[in-house]
Amino acid sequence: MSDTTRSSALGSTGASELFQLLRDGRPRTRAELATMTGLARSTIGLRLDALTELGLVGPFADAVSTGGRPPSRVALIPSARVVLGADFGAGHLNLALTDLMGDELVSRRTEIDIADGPEAGLTAMVATADALLSHYGRSRADLIGVGIGLPGPVQFSTGRPVNPPIMPGWDGFDVPGWVRRHLDVPVLVDNDVNIMALGERSHSFPNTDHFLFVKVATGIGSGIISGGRLQRGAQGIAGDIGHVQIPRGAGIACHCGNVGCLEAVASGPAIARALRASGHDVAGGREVIELVRRGDIDAIQAVRQAGRDLGEVLTACVNVINPSVIAIGGSMAQAGEHLIAGVREIVYTRSMPLATEHLSIVQSRSGDRAAMIGASMLAIHHALSPAAIDELAAAV
Amino acid sequence: MSDTTRSSALGSTGASELFQLLRDGRPRTRAELATMTGLARSTIGLRLDALTELGLVGPFADAVSTGGRPPSRVALIPSARVVLGADFGAGHLNLALTDLMGDELVSRRTEIDIADGPEAGLTAMVATADALLSHYGRSRADLIGVGIGLPGPVQFSTGRPVNPPIMPGWDGFDVPGWVRRHLDVPVLVDNDVNIMALGERSHSFPNTDHFLFVKVATGIGSGIISGGRLQRGAQGIAGDIGHVQIPRGAGIACHCGNVGCLEAVASGPAIARALRASGHDVAGGREVIELVRRGDIDAIQAVRQAGRDLGEVLTACVNVINPSVIAIGGSMAQAGEHLIAGVREIVYTRSMPLATEHLSIVQSRSGDRAAMIGASMLAIHHALSPAAIDELAAAV
């Protein structure tokens, strides 16, 4: 290909737009692509050459030969590059290596303490990333992006945590900048609930455009998908339902500085505190779940009441954003159906009939893996966007 | 142009995609369009020919001659077609004729009674439409779409009202089907609060991507724009804040069948009822506003309390959707700053600091006209979409 021809195919947005059509992984003939885009066959050819040179697209090997020469098809090569999806919790790091479709290739769980600060946590991440890459026979050069979920508020545009309550040392830290000094690819950072929402939807509800994911653990938060897109709001803090006030919270102080917040009444530590007041020996949410599993009536009642409290706030969410699925995850969702039963009791009684007629309230189905996969999806969405593909092409 | 050439320019999505670039009204040279799209100049030429044949695009007359032959520019012709935007209330129909940029050409207000049923109301709309078209020297053939806002819930996908409480005879009525028998263009129908949100944003907050419009009148509702798009939710009823329960509503019955709803406490009729109980002679919201304007302390206090009640629900909305602007409109917003002062008092005290730091809570600026213009924007958005332009092109 002459230099001039190549720059006309790569320098424009043409190749990246063609690539968007192939992102779903389906193989297509050149004729199909010409029909879909209205472009001349010759233009399609030039652009496919450019994408092939990048290694992102290639001939699709048809399984069955029909005798005659079959029309050759091209498709995205999911294994062309790899992606890292990281889920940081207070005490763990779950890290997955995925392909370009977000399918997990290999993953590993590491115990960490988020309070050791960003350099310790991110050093552990980079070391684990190298181990996973090596285990899977790939190198840092194969990496196309890193997605990271953190257990606190994050300014999505810069990837910096904003006053995260349980993450000493992380406030304002330039997470993408630090990571890029080791893994030189785009790094996307979001709060853990948003990546759980992305992962849960991608795994279990791919066709649900109005979806609410709720995490109930040490804190309470939600990730909102409206109109098929994750909604972060003006400051990136949409979905912050833990600090909505509820009637039963009257007079109860919350660590946020306000009183009466949902989180001060219905989180794991809040339920444990209430049970301690009535004489039970429970340190936190984990012991509450153990009590529930042993059939302790007080614990079951306390979890159900927490579900009702959560239901008070979700009733307002249902009227405001009108989702068709609410998935409830986080460690406290492991307390069987009791939490969700409390939620349903209130939401189905109090919300408008039209809003609840087709509303499902379910337990999270993807569990721990949702967050890693969601983080990877975040990175893929960015790494395969038209602008990013243009940049890749320009660097060839 | 030969038939084959034309069908290759029109039969694909090419011309309509080029048109999307010109929808902002800015004139551009063919060279600029070629750079923006990566298409060959010859392809640009063919597609512009197709759009010119449709009358939607034409040469832009530059105001200043620079001596040499200036590069010729093309642009959307806003007056190429006209659009109707209709805002139905309980007792009025506001109808505007706009151009393709949503700018009002002429409008008229007609007194109607929505309870006379759909055929009476829509007959009045068609008659007024003919009068406006004729007044402006245009005909039904120039019309490219009709947008309609109704004062009740509407299933957006079908344009049919769903159990609208104040609209006897309208339930399930095929509004687009009826209108198309008279004005044969796409007809989009939505509830009044959604079109007010679209109109208010387009008029006063064009760059605000996270925007909440609240209407306080006989009922209370809101229209939500998140991520730059109107969010209707799974059943089209997102933003239904009037039936969220608030503490002060305890025991007060709402017409929806539930108790304690915001609307049962803070709407115009609810404020009037509370004032009557303390001996004032007020029939409804209008008389409440008159009392406030005369400086009646009881009325001012009642309106301010309604603002606080509204603030309780908006506090939850702020945490959940994190908007940067909340605009409050509807007839009760005319009670000066008292309503909004009550809202601000609660929202700025109770919402998370990060969410309120850059949050403006303002009175609606576009007033009555917002709804008509919003209805027109709804129709324009549909009529100029890629699929609609393709259909127009195929019919040439």
Is B191 in contact with B160 (CB distance < 8 Å)? no
CATH of the domain at A321: 3.30.420.40
User: Would the pLDDT of A3 be above 50?
Assistant: no
pLDDT in tens, A285-306: 999 999 999 999 999 999 999 9
Hey, are the CB atoms on A322 and B240 less than 8 Å from each other?
yes
pLDDT in tens, A226-248: 999 999 999 888 999 999 999 89
SS3 content of chain A, % helix, strand, coil (to 5): 45, 20, 35
| Residue A230 shares a structural domain with residue A306 | yes
Q: Is residue A29 part of a domain?
A: yes
What is the rounded distance in angstroms from the CA atom of residue B216 to the CA atom of residue B225?
A: 18
Residue from B35, B154, B209, B322 whose CB has the most chain A CBs within 10 Å, to mutate = B322
Res B234: pLDDT:
92
Length of chain A: 396
Amino acid at B253: A
| Residue B338 shares a structural domain with residue B214 | yes
| Residue B355 shares a structural domain with residue B261 | yes
User: Would the pLDDT of B10 be above 70?
Assistant: no
What sign has the CA pseudo-torsion A267, A270, A272, A274?
A: negative
Res B279: pLDDT:
93
What is the rounded distance in angstroms from the CA atom of residue B145 to the CA atom of residue B390?
A: 15
Query: What is the domain extent for residue B63?
Result: 3-76
On average, the pLDDT of chain A sits at: 89
pLDDT > 90 in chain A, percent: 65
Most confident by average pLDDT, A43-52, A139-148, B30-39? A139-148
| Residue A151 shares a structural domain with residue A296 | no
Res B34: pLDDT:
85
User: Would the pLDDT of B8 be above 90?
Assistant: no
User: Would the pLDDT of B180 be above 90?
Assistant: yes
| Residue B163 shares a structural domain with residue B246 | no
pLDDT in tens, A316-350: 999 999 999 999 999 899 888 999 999 999 999 98
Is some CB atom of chain A closer than 8 A to the CB atom of B360?
A: no
pLDDT confidence tier of residue B70, bands split at 50, 70 and 90: low
Q: In A, which residues are within 8 Å of B210 by CB distance? A: 233-234, 238
Q: Is residue B220 part of a domain?
A: yes
| Residue B177 shares a structural domain with residue B252 | no
Is some CB atom of chain A closer than 8 A to the CB atom of B155?
A: no
In b/e form, how buried is each residue of A310-333, taking b as 16+ CB within 10 angstroms?
A: bbbbbbbbbbbbbbbbbbbbbbbb
Number of domains, chain B: 3
Is B196 in contact with B151 (CB distance < 8 Å)? no
Could you please report the per-residue DSSP string of A58-85? EEE--SS--SS-PPPEEEE-GGGSEEEE
Q: Between these two residues, A355 and B262, which has the higher pLDDT value?
A: B262
| Residue A102 shares a structural domain with residue A145 | yes
- What are the CA-CA distances from residue B356 to residues A33, A159, A204, A208, B351 (Å)? 48, 21, 34, 30, 7
pLDDT in tens, B257-303: 889 999 999 999 999 999 999 999 999 999 999 999 999 999 999 99
Res A6: pLDDT:
37
Is some CB atom of chain B closer than 8 A to the CB atom of A191?
A: no
pLDDT in tens, A141-154: 999 999 999 998 89
Res B104: pLDDT:
94
On average, the pLDDT of chain B sits at: 89
In b/e form, how buried is each residue of B15-37, taking b as 16+ CB within 10 angstroms?
A: bbbbbeebbeeeebeeebbbeeb
Q: Is residue B352 part of a domain?
A: yes
| Residue B220 shares a structural domain with residue B308 | yes
| Residue A256 shares a structural domain with residue A282 | yes
| Residue B100 shares a structural domain with residue B165 | yes
Average pLDDT over residues B161-186: 94
- What are the CA-CA distances from residue A309 to residues A76, A367, B52, B304 (Å)? 47, 23, 60, 28
Is B319 in contact with B355 (CB distance < 8 Å)? yes
**Last residue within a domain, chosen from B44, B60, B76:** B76
User: Would the pLDDT of B14 be above 60?
Assistant: yes
Res A126: pLDDT:
98
Q: Is residue B198 part of a domain?
A: no
What is the rounded distance in angstroms from the CA atom of residue A251 to the CA atom of residue A260?
A: 6
**Last residue within a domain, chosen from B52, B76, B100:** B76
Q: Look up residue B12 and give its two tokens.
A: 């694909």
Hey, are the CB atoms on B238 and A317 less than 8 Å from each other?
no
What is the rounded distance in angstroms from the CA atom of residue B60 to the CA atom of residue A164?
A: 54
Res B4: pLDDT:
36
| Residue B292 shares a structural domain with residue B155 | no
Is B142 in contact with B55 (CB distance < 8 Å)? no
CA A357 to chain centre: 28
Q: Is residue A200 part of a domain?
A: no
Is some CB atom of chain A closer than 8 A to the CB atom of B279?
A: no
| Residue A101 shares a structural domain with residue A234 | no
Could you please report the per-residue DSSP string of B266-298? HSHHHHHHHHHHTT----SHHHHHHHHHTT-HH
CATH of the domain at A23: 1.10.10.10
Is A263 in contact with A240 (CB distance < 8 Å)? no
